[in-house]
Amino acid sequence: MRIVSWNVNGLRACAKKGFGRFLAQSKADVVGIQEVRASEQQLDPRVRRPKGWHTAFVAASRPGYSGVAIYSRDPPSRVETALGLPTFDEEGRFIVAHFGRLAIASVYFPKGSGKERDNSRVPYKLDFYRCVFDRVQHLRRRGPVFVMGDFNTAHQAIDLARPDTNQKSSGFLPEERAEMTRWLEAGWVDTFRARHPNEPDHYTWWRQWGGAREDNVGWRIDYVLASASAAKRVRNAFIWPHVQGSDHCPVGVDID
């Protein structure tokens, strides 16, 4: 089974750049999408429900903002689309598909930077992290859980190209990194880093100017985290920087 996550930075735009081709060639069984930036009704039918795929979407109340989705080859036995707190649910950032005992979440964690390019949204971001943590901690009591998506945090210096100049930037603040550490200390496994512990230059997001992607000046902020029982099933963890169509690239795992 292959599970893939991708922040598409606008699904309608990504669809024009080959999203359908990506789905067909990915050999994925489950694909989690973040930053859909459209309601389900605004999507072309071929994107909303491609042949051979089951889909579930969660949109933000604000048009053209946020949004998550899950595409799966097999129909989920159940889908959760809310955390139960309006302050989070109105931004459309959380969805979980259940396949029997296995739960797979697609989550778009907030940025900490505000409209004024400050760090004013960091408290909201950390509160969202904690709310999701509590939910998935509960889910892992029932069976294996994967939490995939854009976490908007580079955990360690190895996870971004310019750590020294980003010490005060949201995405690499001590309190954000500490929250990631809390997850790992609670038993969640960073599936990619577990298999590539000391390998630098693996990134999942690049700025869209200045040749950042061409020069590989990026950040690893997209993850597939696994509960302990889920991590035992992982055979391979990967990043696909060659896949174009967004300022992020897909990440994923192959599992038994």
Burial-class residue 210 by CB neighbours within 10 Å (0-12, 13-18, 19+): exposed
The SS3 assignment for 195 reads helix
CB 224 within 8 A of CB 144: no
Torsions phi, psi of 126, nearest 5?
Answer: -70, -35
Angle at which helix 122-139 crosses helix 174-185, to 10 degrees, equals 10
Q: What is the DSSP string of 110-128?
A: PPS--TTSSSTTHHHHHHH
C-alpha–C-alpha distance, residues 213 and 61, integer Å: 32
Catalytic residue among 118, 134, 150, 254: 150
Residue 118 catalytic?
no
Q: Give, in degrees to the nearest 5, the angle at Cα 156 between 155 and 159.
A: 85
Q: Name the residues annotated as catalytic.
A: 150
